[in-house]
Structure 1
Amino acid sequence: MADMSGQDPSEIKMATVDEEKKGAAFSGTVILAMDAEGGEVVFFRDFLIEDYQGELTAYLATDGNLTKSIDLGELKHKVPSFKMPIPMGTDTSPYNTVVLRDEKSKKKILTIDL
């Protein structure tokens, strides 16, 4: 992996994903991290989604519960490694999952335990 001069966020919690759900395959690493540029981020590293056509939104959640979550926005699954910023000043300690939800059906597609 190319050195990005310290741009890689420093890990707080990390999960490795290798799952097949509803005919789609998800693989890669998801990290709750401190960003070098300030604040916290959810960092998707080498995150690949195969055979999934819908638009996914990522949430940082407590126990996979979307009523106790932060909407991180639309997943940029066209590129394998990307950061999704968490709003400044957020206490991330209660959050232990990342949930990917289909925007059309509003169904949870994948819950990743951090």
Structure 2
Amino acid sequence: MDGQDPADIKMGNVDEEENSVVAHGTAILGIDPEGGEAVLFKDLEVTNSKVKLSAYLAIDGNLNKSIELGELTGTMGTVKSTVPLGTDTSPYNTVVLRDQKSKKKVAVIEL
């Protein structure tokens, strides 16, 4: 995401507590240096490491109007979720983290 026009980057912070999960960090939607676009989670910290989280790019936090980005590969530090190639990301304004087991939203991050 380095080297791109900052106006093309969408970014938001997460600082949420939902049930037994606390999430902190920054989500950045931008161009992936490896091709296409990605959501990069920086300084991510999820307190319940037993939870398996999936990330979604959504319109107003609505999972019925979302694209699943897949399971997060980690819950600490920098984690990248790739956006499917060819996706028009312009209508999406939130990233949703959801517990795979309970299907409950853990965090909604406004971009």
Moved over 6 A (4+): none
- Out of 84, 102, 105, the position equivalent to 1:105 is 102
Matches within 5 A, 1:1-114: 8=2, 10=4, 12-114=9-111
Please list every run of 5 or more consecutive structure 2 residues that lacks an aligned counterpart in the other structure: none
Aligned to 1:4: none
Q: Distance in 2 between matches of 1:24 and 1:9?
A: 34
Shift, 1:57, TM fit: 0.7
Over aligned residue pairs, what C-alpha RMSD do you find? 1.8
Shift, 1:31, TM fit: 0.4
Alignment CA distance shift 1:93-1:27 (3 Å)? same
Q: Distance in 1 between matches of 2:32 and 2:97?
A: 21
**Cα deviations by residue, 1:17-76 (Å, 9 ceiling, x for unpaired):** 222221322111100011122210000111110135321111001111111111111112
TM value normalised by structure 2: 0.86
Contact 1:9–1:33 under 8 Å retained in 2: no
Q: Which has the higher contact order (CA 8 A, sep 6+)?
A: 2
Q: Kindly, what percent of the aligned residue pairs are identical?
A: 55
Please list every run of 5 or more consecutive structure 1 residues that lacks an aligned counterpart in the other structure: 1-6
